Amino acid sequence: MSNDVSTVVGHANGGSDDQHVVLGKLTSPYGVKGWLWVYSYTSPIDGILDYPEWVLRYAGRIETWQIRQGRRHGKGLVVSLDGVTSRDQAEKLVGAEVLLPKQALPELAPGDYYWHQLEGLQVVTVQGIVLGHVNYLFETGANDVMVVVADAESIDDRERLLPFLPDQVVLNVDLDAGIMMVDWDPEF
């Protein structure tokens, strides 16, 4: 089934598995009462706080934690988790990835996609030339950018950066077939 493309939602980034998407990570303790700095991949960044229960992947295990409080602080986010009341406890969680079960993600409008849905799609030009597959996406401020890497079926071994511009560059996304059709000159 083909879908016309309208937008891509940068709601999750990198490190996804079959059951979860990575929403962010805990980067360092904040203060002495167990709060932690959070690096969020959601857009807007405080969207990660919309989920009162987080699944954390750290130290080789996966555990569920409840958010006691969370807020913006300067240009970043800080969070307090139930049961974490000291800096020492917070330090043990530094580096943990914040996961969300994929089935907990809100439904999107037709033509909207989460980044994890686009990662791995084969990228084919309107002329039928295979450029490779979407490795990951990132934000630039003006628009999202797809990093397309070569694979066994691609025309060459180049890595390409393609803007995610619906109806201009990205013409069609077929999740079932695993293909994204683009209007892109292979020489770029």
Write the burial class of residue 164 (CB in 10 Å: 0-12 exposed, 13-18 middle, 19+ buried): buried
Please identify, among 50, 77, 103, the residue that sits at the C-terminal boundary of a domain. 103
Please identify, among 73, 103, 133, the residue that sits at the C-terminal boundary of a domain. 103
Please identify, among 75, 103, 131, the residue that sits at the C-terminal boundary of a domain. 103
Cα–Cα dist 180/162, whole Å: 12
Whether 176 maps to a domain, the answer reads: yes
pLDDT at 140: 83
Dihedral (Cα; 68, 72, 73, 74), 10-degree rounding: 170
Cα–Cα dist 149/129, whole Å: 14
Whether 111 maps to a domain, the answer reads: no
What's the number of domains the chain is made of?
A: 2
Identify any residues that bridge with 48 across adjacent strands, giving them in sequence order.
Answer: none
Cα–Cα dist 184/150, whole Å: 15
Over residues 102-153, the pLDDT tens digits come to 888 888 888 888 888 999 999 999 999 999 999 998 888 788 899 999 999 9
Q: Does residue 2 register a pLDDT over 80?
A: no
- In this prediction the pTM is 0.68
pLDDT at 17: 60
| Sign of the CA dihedral running 50, 16, 109, 44 | positive
Full domain range(s) for residue 40: 20-103
Residue 144: give its domain's CATH number: 2.30.30.240
Over residues 67-98, the pLDDT tens digits come to 999 999 999 999 999 999 999 999 999 999 99
When comparing pLDDT for 116 and 162, which is higher?
162
Same domain as 29, residue 97: yes
